[in-house]
Each structure stands twice: as structure tokens, then as C-alpha cells.
Amino acid sequence: MTAYRTRSIQLHDFGTPPTLTQHEIDAPTGSEVLVRVTGAGVCHSDLHLQDGYYDLGGGEHLSFRQRVTFPVTPGHEISGVVVARGEDATGATIGQNVLVCPWVGCGDCPRCVRGYENLCSNSRFLGVNRDGGYAEHVLVPHSRYLIDLGDLDPARAAPLTCSGLTTYSAIGKFGSELDEEPLVIFGAGGLGLMAVGLLAVMGKARPVVVEIDPERRSAALAAGARAAIDPTDRDADEQIRAAVGGPVLAILDVVGAGATFAQSYRLIEKGGRIVIAGLLGGDTRVQVPLIPMRSISIEGSYIGKLDELRELVTLVRTHGLPDIPVHTRELHEAPQAMDELRSGSVVGRFVLVP
């Protein structure tokens, strides 16, 4: 069997910096496809993987310990070109420009059977539970996880598989209300800017963005937000209500912190919906009677389905990619890119181009 020489960025334990490693990767067999990576987005979840936990607030953590085997190559926002395929990998063409859906489930549980592989409890996600895209090559278990990119720019398209899909699926939970009523988006990091850009591509009402960082507020306005408000302003709630121009009925929280939920919970009005897709961490106090009295919905949204990713790619191949800043970096620059993302200084998305 031929093997391919490759280089990848590997994590060897939690809490340690990743390193660049040269090694061999086996040729694909069966339904597998080998993809040469042309874009790998650096996502905040990669930092959670490096840390080994999510912050639940109050000093509590949710550990990755049971779910990760080291060494592991991070990276779940992957575009590439098909270079080899197993004998059963139908539907993949050598030389094809593809997006790789990393959200691989067990395939057998009730959630997988219903198409929600992203919610599988026995996930085999690329870049989390098995090697991902911070590499020259990635082995994809089945050609069904490949989506044709046509002539879309692979570096700009790579973030579609996580920040794109996560926001697309979350926006979908609001239905047609967003055609007329502006969504309030908490956060203008990778996910928030993607949400603003996608709403524009989808022809929805221009959103109101709430973000602490002034540069990110500017980026949100440039991406199409109708207003960008600093939540630390004394009159921030009034500014948000004024920018919405009516009752606040739709809030998307892509930060997912105690403070953003507290503000969302305070702002949302009768019949409204809060969708939380961010995982930053923390906790807050909830006054239970205000949930039924206002008849509000509080919904979590975790990535999205393979079918939704296919829909999203069809959408952007017709209407264009969301216009958000993408900064390309070489593979060996991954550790610095992760550190910069952690420092909070990045506006837009880092994409590794091996």
C-alpha cells in the first residue's frame, strides 16, 4: 500500500502548545478519501481542545479527557482537493475542489439516523476525535462528507464547515421572521461576523450587533450590520431597543457567556426567542417565572447537519461567499495563529493554507 508523506500540526496533551510533525499517512481504503488541504480555519473550539475543557462557570469544567486520543491534529474547517480514494469511495473525483464536513457521527444511533450526526454521542469528528485539517493531508472516512466547491476560493470557503454551518443552522431556527425583523447578535468574532455576512447573502433584515471590541464593531458595520453597540455603555439596552425599532424578539448569542445570556434574558420580550450557539463559558441567574410570563424560547444550537451544510454551499455558490475578513497563514504558523485568536486581537478568521 502506498503511503503519503505529509506534515501536520499535532497536539500531544492538553494545555501544551502544538508542534509541526512530519510523518506518513496511509493511502485510503474502502470508502475513505485522501484530501490535500487547501484551507483550514482556526476556530475558537480548537482552543477549547487545546485547553481540554469548556468553562461551565462557578469554577466547573466540562472535560474533553474521555473524547480525545493524543496525538491529534486539530482543524475542523477544511477545504481541499481529492488526491486519492478507496475502491468504494464513489462520488469523489481526483482533482475535485471540495469542502470537508468534519461532523462525522457513529451512523447508527437515533440522532445519526435522523441526520443529526453533529449531535451524536459517539462522534468521530475530524479535528477533535480524529485527525483534522491543520495538515497537508486529511483522511476523510467517507466520500459523503465531501461537498463540491466548484470554483469558490478554498481559503475563504473553509470556515463554512464550522462558523458558517453553526450560524446558518442557528439563523434557520428563527424561520421567516428575520425577513422583516432584525436579529440582535451578541458577538462579532468569527461566528458573529459570519452571521452578519450570511444574513446579507440570505437577503434577511440587517442585524443589530452587540460587541465590546471597537474594531470588531467596525467590521460588523462593514459586513452589513445596521448598528453595532458596546454592551458596556450605560444605556446599552436602550440603544439596542432603539436600533431594533420595535420589541426585541430575536437574539442570537454567539459568545455564550454568563454576561451575554444575562443581557439577552433581560432584553427579550414576549414571544421572543434566544438561540445560543457560542461556547465561551460561564453561568448566570435565571428568574424562572419570566420564562412562561413572556412565553420566550431559549434554544441551544450546536453546529448543524450535513444536509444544512450542503444547502449553505448551494446558497453561497449562487449568491457569493459572505464578505468577512480572512487572513491566511502558513501551516507552521498555526501555534501563533491560535495564540493570537486567544488574545482576542483577531478581526475575522485565520485560515491555514498548507
Count of residues of this chain found to bind Zn ion when the rule CB under 5 A is applied: 8
Beta strands in the chain (DSSP E): 3-10, 19-26, 33-41, 53-57, 60-63, 77-85, 97-100, 137-140, 146-148, 184-186, 208-210, 227-229, 250-253, 273-276, 297-300, 326-329, 349-352
Please identify, using beta-carbon distances, which residue of 85 and 111 lies nearer to Zn ion: 111
As measured in angstroms, the least distance from the Cβ of 211 to Zn ion is 19
Dihedral class, residue 203 (left if φ above 0, else alpha if ψ from -120 to 50, else beta): left
SS3 53: strand
What x-and-dash track marks residues 21-60 binding Zn ion by CB under 5 A? ----------------------x-x---------------
What x-and-dash track marks residues 131-160 binding Zn ion by CB under 5 A? ------------------------------
Which one of the spans 99-107, 131-139, 179-187, 223-231 is the region binding Zn ion (CB under 5 A)?
A: 99-107
Q: Which of 10, 106, 1, 5 is nearest to 338 (CA)?
A: 10
Instruction: Kindly tell me which residue out of 98, 120, 219, 351 binds Zn ion, with binding defined by CB under 5 A.
Output: 120
Please identify, using beta-carbon distances, which residue of 69 and 121 lies nearer to Zn ion: 121
Please identify, using beta-carbon distances, which residue of 93 and 122 lies nearer to Zn ion: 122
As measured in angstroms, the least distance from the Cβ of 191 to Zn ion is 8
For residue 308, count other CB atoms closer than 10 A to its CB: 19
Please identify, using beta-carbon distances, which residue of 96 and 166 lies nearer to Zn ion: 166
Which one of the spans 112-120, 201-209, 278-286, 346-354 is the region binding Zn ion (CB under 5 A)?
A: 112-120
Instruction: Kindly tell me which residue out of 112, 219, 229, 338 binds Zn ion, with binding defined by CB under 5 A.
Output: 112
As measured in angstroms, the least distance from the Cβ of 246 to Zn ion is 33
Instruction: Kindly tell me which residue out of 47, 83, 106, 212 binds Zn ion, with binding defined by CB under 5 A.
Output: 106
Q: Residues 38-75, buried b or exposed e (16+ Cβ, 10 A)?
A: bbbbbbbbbebbbebbbbeeeeeeeebeeebeebbbbb
As measured in angstroms, the least distance from the Cβ of 213 to Zn ion is 20
Instruction: Kindly tell me which residue out of 162, 208, 277, 331 binds Zn ion, with binding defined by CB under 5 A.
Output: 162
Q: Could you give the C-alpha distances from 29 to 2, 6, 90, in angstroms and in order?
A: 11, 18, 12
Which one of the spans 15-23, 57-65, 104-112, 262-270 is the region binding Zn ion (CB under 5 A)?
A: 104-112
Please identify, using beta-carbon distances, which residue of 28 and 304 lies nearer to Zn ion: 304
| Measured distance CA(337)–CA(117) in Å, rounded | 29
Q: Which residues pair with 40 in a beta bridge?
A: 78, 352
**Helices in the chain by DSSP H: which ranges?**
44-51, 110-113, 154-157, 163-172, 190-201, 214-223, 236-244, 258-267, 290-294, 306-319, 334-343
- Interaction between residue 254 and Zn ion (CB under 5 A): no
Q: Could you give the C-alpha distances from 11 to 35, 131, 156, 337, in angstroms and in order?
A: 21, 10, 25, 14
As measured in angstroms, the least distance from the Cβ of 108 to Zn ion is 6
Cβ(267)–Cβ(251) under 8 Å?
A: yes
Please list every residue from 170 through 189 that binds Zn ion, using CB under 5 A: none
What is the total residue count of the chain?
354
Which one of the spans 55-63, 84-92, 107-115, 311-319 is the region binding Zn ion (CB under 5 A)?
A: 107-115
Instruction: Kindly tell me which residue out of 109, 212, 222, 298 binds Zn ion, with binding defined by CB under 5 A.
Output: 109
As measured in angstroms, the least distance from the Cβ of 243 to Zn ion is 28
Residues that bind Zn ion (CB under 5 A): 43, 45, 105-106, 109, 112, 120, 162
